[in-house]
Amino acid sequence: MTLEGLRGAVGKPYWHGQKVSTNKLDAESFQIVDYIYEHRDFFELIQYDDTLPGLHTGFPQTILKIYQEQFVFETINNSPVNMDYFKYYTAYGFFGLLNNWILSGYRESREAFIKNVIELTRTHIHSFHYVGNTFES
């Protein structure tokens, strides 16, 4: 089990080429959250310096790579943006939320966390195309 498991978890609910409106997102859309919670002993190591070399930078970089390779985002009202910046902004923002959830000891329930992430997502993403492959985790 490594950070690469995140890649497979993200793709579980989707098929290649699928377009998903953020209005249709639900808890099943966020298999990555389940993966992190199921492997919390690993992800909780982010609380400590020098436990796993590269974890502090590798975790957000993995999310960014997932966004770059597996998703084509459509902004609200198709607002033109630099999509590279958008993916950095979105990936690191999501990492920050995940990191805070982990560091809080998962104080917020999985369901409440996902609900809040979906609400935030709907403020800047209209829909996305899943262009990744289905991975086994």
List the structure tokens of 11: 């793709």
3, 59 in Cβ contact below 8 A? yes
132, 67 in Cβ contact below 8 A? no
Per residue in 4-14, pLDDT (tens digit) is: 899 999 999 99
Q: Give the pLDDT mean for 89-103.
A: 97
Per residue in 68-88, pLDDT (tens digit) is: 999 999 999 999 999 999 999
The pLDDT of residue 2 is: 79
Lowest-pLDDT choice from 49-58, 64-73, 81-90: 49-58
Banded pLDDT at 127 (limits 50, 70, 90):
very high
